[in-house]
Amino acid sequence: MTSHRLHTLHERSFETNRFVYPVLSRRAGGLSIGVNLNPDKICNFDCIYCQVNRTRQSETRFVETDDLLRELEDTLTLAASGRIYESGKFHDTPPHLRRLRDIAFSGDGEPTTYRNFDEIIEACAVLKRRLGLDDVRMTLITNASMLHRPHVQRGLAILDANQGEIWAKLEAGTDEYFRRVDRTPIAFHRILENLTQAAQVRPIVIQALFLRIQNEPPSWAELEAFCDRLNEILAAGGQIKLVQIYTVARQPAESYVTPLTNEEVDAIAALVRQRTGLSATEYYGASLNAD
Ligand code: SF4
């Protein structure tokens, strides 16, 4: 998934790459090498704020593993050596962001819907080890809908053994709001169970995008229910290392969706801290391009 990533340079192509795209990411704190496992742009959610442009068909419909791995090796090598900053779009990268932080499984849909998810994760982990990039994280950016599936569980175990981290989306407290924002036939309780089970095995990061619908921000009751869901995960023995609160940054799927103000984002993060005791970080809509 996805489009839940915040980054300042977000083209999905890097020179001639088709599957691997380096981006500067505030949330990663440097250079993030995106791997797009959904070139067909298919997702099992249909979020009202999705920023994937589905009106334009992609040139590539299928993951071609050999090409993907070659692109990843080339891009990691360029990034790790620092040569990536010598010219082109990363030339003006500020010094504090000139760090290779992670390989992020993200892209134009939900990465765990890719049927060879475990195999590609394994192949990327092997490559990362071969290149000696032990301090580079592997980040799975996911809507959590498939975390219970065996091939995904196998992939998660590989991530756990290779500096992996799960950044999972949760941005509703009630079933009704979940359906309104994420527009999926998948049940809200399935998402909550998957998050809980994943968080019982390793600490996870929650990504929560809140927005205005027809100019209405989420109700306070919805936000309190969101905190209740986080507390239920904690009460079940789940660990949440961070809650990222953010808002719409780029052109959303629906024109009735607009960003929250910075103050509204701050207020939600403060509520999360106060109601759950968790760490929460804010990412504003308007300043996204100002890093
Ligand atoms: S989960 Fe939502 S935001 Fe992410 S790619 Fe799918 S529809 Fe877009």
pLDDT band at 58 (very low <50, low <70, confident <90, very high): low
2 lines ligand 1 (CB under 6 A): yes
- Answer whether 143 contacts ligand 1 (Cβ < 6 A): yes
Residue 108 Cα, ligand 1 centroid: separation in angstroms?
8
pLDDT in tens, 124-147: 999 999 999 999 999 999 999 999
Answer whether 93's CB lies under 8 Å from 24's CB. Answer: yes
For the CA of 38, the nearest atom of ligand 1? 5
The angle formed by the CA atoms of residues 137, 142 and 143, to the nearest 5 degrees, is: 160
Q: What is the DSSP letter of 209?
A: E
Q: Residue 250 C-alpha to ligand 1 middle, in angstroms?
A: 13
pLDDT band at 259 (very low <50, low <70, confident <90, very high): very high
pLDDT tens across 206-238, in order? 999 999 999 999 999 999 999 999 999 999 999
Please tell me the chain's helix, strand, coil percentages from 3-state DSSP, rounded to the nearest 5: 40, 20, 45
**Beta strands at 30-36 and 100-106: parallel, antiparallel or unpaired:** parallel
pTM (2 decimals)? 0.92
- Ligand 1 proximity of 162 Cβ (cutoff 6 Å): no
d(C-alpha 196, C-alpha 242), whole Å: 14
Considering only CA atoms, which residue is closest to atom 1 of ligand 1?
Answer: 45
